[in-house]
Amino acid sequence: MRFFGGIFYDIEDERVIEAIRSIPRELFVPDEFKDYAYVDSALPIGYGQTISQPSLVAYMTQLLELDKNKEVLEIGTGSGYQTALLAKLAKKVYTVEIIEELQKRAKKILDKLGLDNIKYKIGNGYEGWEEYAPYDAIMVTAAPPEVPEKLLEQLKDSGKMVIPVGKPGHTQVLKLIIREGDKFIEEDLQYVRFVPMVK
């Protein structure tokens, strides 16, 4: 399926398609970029951060295979757009953001949309959110140079993590990681560009 006239991703999950169509992306975009809200591209949201293109958000979300029995940890609240999609599909979302002003702005929008199954934390994404671990799924929306050990530890057995990995200023690799007991199966999916994960 093609989203917003952008590049092709294999989006087959009807729940993901329906959820992303129900989310008004213009609410998450700064006023000066409202005219581009439905262009399939990343846009700046301030503080050196971006809102990802809708097709990539949908693709990454589909990989987690969420349902209303699953709890998901999100690293990087950012604009709140990805958070909204996760909240539409999962039982509970625990979202961590290092930039307090961004999360406050996102929370106002998400509250306005009536999404009340989200818990918020200001903190270092490398540490995850141990209090509510383990999680059925982990979505990482900023790129660390390598997969943080703490996030692996907070993933449930059979749980899935989607994470871009790579050095700042370079193209990163989007990975799908599945936990099988004490083992982690990694699959490299495609090249992407995300803002760096900071401590």
* Residues taking part in catalysis: 52
Strands 92-97 and 71-75: parallel
Tokens of 76: 């990087």
Tokens of 98: 């290092």
- Look at the alpha carbons of 143, 62, 51, 189 in this order and tell me if their dihedral is positive or negative: positive
> Cα–Cα distances in Å, from 11 out to 57, 68, 77, 194?
11, 19, 23, 20
φ, ψ of residue 196 to 5 degrees: the values are: -70, 145
Residues making up the chain, counted from first to last: 199
Asked if 151 contacts 140 with a C-beta cutoff of 8 angstroms, the reply is yes
Asked if 28 contacts 79 with a C-beta cutoff of 8 angstroms, the reply is yes
Reference 98, options 126, 80, 123; nearest CA is 123
